[in-house]
Amino acid sequence: MKLLSFLLLASLYTYGQPTTPIPVKVVVVTMFEIGADTGDRPGEFQYWVERVPLSQTIPFPQGYRNLRYNAEKQVLGICTGMGTARSTASIMALGMDPRFDLSHAYWLVAGIAGIDPEDGSAGSAVWAEWLVDGDLAHEIDPREIPKEWPTGYLPLRRAKPYEEPAQDNDFMVSIHLNPDLAKWAYGLTKDVKLADSETLQKMRARYQGFPEAQKPPRVMMGDHIAAMTFWHGKYLNEWANKWVSYWTGGKGNFVTSAMEDTGTGQSLQWLTNAGKADINRYLVLRTASNYTMQPPGVTAADNLTNGGKEVGERYTAYVPALEAAYQTGIVVVDKLIANWTIYKDKAPGK
């Protein structure tokens, strides 16, 4: 293995130019890391680096962080940096990098998120079929909106909230992922047993009146909103549900919230247009580190800022969510690699 990695590195450049591209079967996409890639408090990247393992470091000065690679499995790991701007730039930089052959690669986002307590519980893992951008909009401060408006957010080129018909998708406000691939990934992982704990049980117990929020962690399907603002609270949760429904023609159901995935999807679409990647091989797995709104009896502000330092503080499910992302995602990665003779040319699903 060490000899293989050495020979691979040695073959990367001849007089500064790439020679044989590095083959990649799966790109694991994470968004942040706290310290080093290994051996300290984990971010989204660390468990993948330590456990796959992604032992080889590949310099990536045009991106947020160096890449990691497993030459035997042909799995590449990237940490894009947080936010849509960084994820878009990092994925485009990787896709255009001549050192890599990504023509048959699957792209797996494995990151943490907030979860709607109407739909799921902290520590759960959620496969998305729809991604909706929560930033591309008009906005008026709620103190200045007409009384009949439910929100100050308006779709672009529309005169009131949720005005029909929805605009055409020039801005890629919504991205419909390959539904067959998403459902295949869910079917493959739906019986993965995710970790539970007394701490998570106490966190869930605060959400009286939200039966889905009180269930143990599980693998499920649900749709995703990506927005650069870390929003929180009952009213914004209502907005997210309506926004996702609006932009998916009623087909999507908001379940998880994070920042980056529409940016990653935009880059993958343009890389697909250039023959560098295949957006139909794009999978999004988000795992719940927190809820997107406060429990009964607590204000949104206190819940967001940890006012009172209650048991159910914002990120009580942080480490369980990291574990869930790895434990669920690795099942898909291993299956793709084990059946590469089939899945190289034909994506699983139908």
DSSP 8-state symbol, 225: E
Q: How far is CA 16 from CA 7, 83, 99, 273, in A?
A: 16, 32, 11, 28
307 has a pLDDT exceeding 50: yes
DSSP 8-state symbol, 288: E
Buried b (16+ CB within 10 A) or exposed e, 63-76: bbbebbbbbebbbb
- Give the pLDDT of residue 19: 81
In a 13 Å sphere around the CA of 321, the CA atoms on its Cβ side amount to 26
258: phi then psi, degrees, rounded to nearest 5: -150, -150
Those residues whose C-beta lies under 8 Å from the C-beta of residue 35, and which sit 6 or more positions away, are: 41, 43
- Give the pLDDT of residue 305: 84
75, containing H or E segment: strand 75-79
In angstroms, the CA 314 to CA 283 distance is: 26
The two three-digit tokens of residue 349, written as one number: 């699903």
In angstroms, the CA 294 to CA 232 distance is: 8
The two three-digit tokens of residue 132, written as one number: 């909706």
At residue 152, the 3 state secondary structure works out as coil
Task: Specify the higher pLDDT residue, 223 or 4.
Answer: 223
Taking the model in full, what pTM does it have?
Answer: 0.93
310 has a pLDDT exceeding 50: no
Q: How far is CA 159 from CA 154, 238, 242, 270, in A?
A: 7, 20, 17, 30
Task: Specify the higher pLDDT residue, 11 or 335.
Answer: 335
312 has a pLDDT exceeding 50: no
Mean pLDDT of 28-44: 96
261 has a pLDDT exceeding 50: yes
DSSP 8-state symbol, 74: T
- Give the pLDDT of residue 3: 44
Q: Is the peptide bond before 348 cis (omega within 30 degrees of 0)?
A: no
DSSP 8-state symbol, 247: H
- Give the pLDDT of residue 18: 53
Task: Specify the higher pLDDT residue, 303 or 93.
Answer: 93
- Give the pLDDT of residue 171: 79
Cross-strand partners of 178: none
Task: Specify the higher pLDDT residue, 17 or 302.
Answer: 302
For residues 98 and 20, is the Cβ–Cβ distance under 8 A?
no
Looking at the domain 22-129+175-230+252-343, which fold is it? Rossmann fold (3.40.50)
In angstroms, the CA 105 to CA 209 distance is: 43
In angstroms, the CA 71 to CA 5 distance is: 6
Burial of 289 (0-12, 13-18, 19+ CB in 10 A): buried
Q: Tell me the torsion sign for CA atoms 295, 301, 306, 308.
A: negative
For residues 214 and 103, is the Cβ–Cβ distance under 8 A?
no
254 has a pLDDT exceeding 90: yes
- Give the pLDDT of residue 266: 96
**What are the sequence ranges of the domains in the chain?**
22-129+175-230+252-343
- Give the pLDDT of residue 2: 47
pLDDT per residue over 51-105, tens digit each?
Answer: 999 999 999 999 999 999 999 999 999 999 999 999 999 999 999 999 999 999 9
Q: How far out from the chain centre does Cα 287 lie? A: 8
214: phi then psi, degrees, rounded to nearest 5: -95, -5
5 has a pLDDT exceeding 60: no
10 has a pLDDT exceeding 50: no
pLDDT per residue over 269-280, tens digit each?
Answer: 999 999 999 999
4 has a pLDDT exceeding 90: no
pLDDT per residue over 329-349, tens digit each?
Answer: 999 999 999 999 999 999 998
Read off the amino acid at residue 350. K
Average pLDDT over all residues of the chain: 92
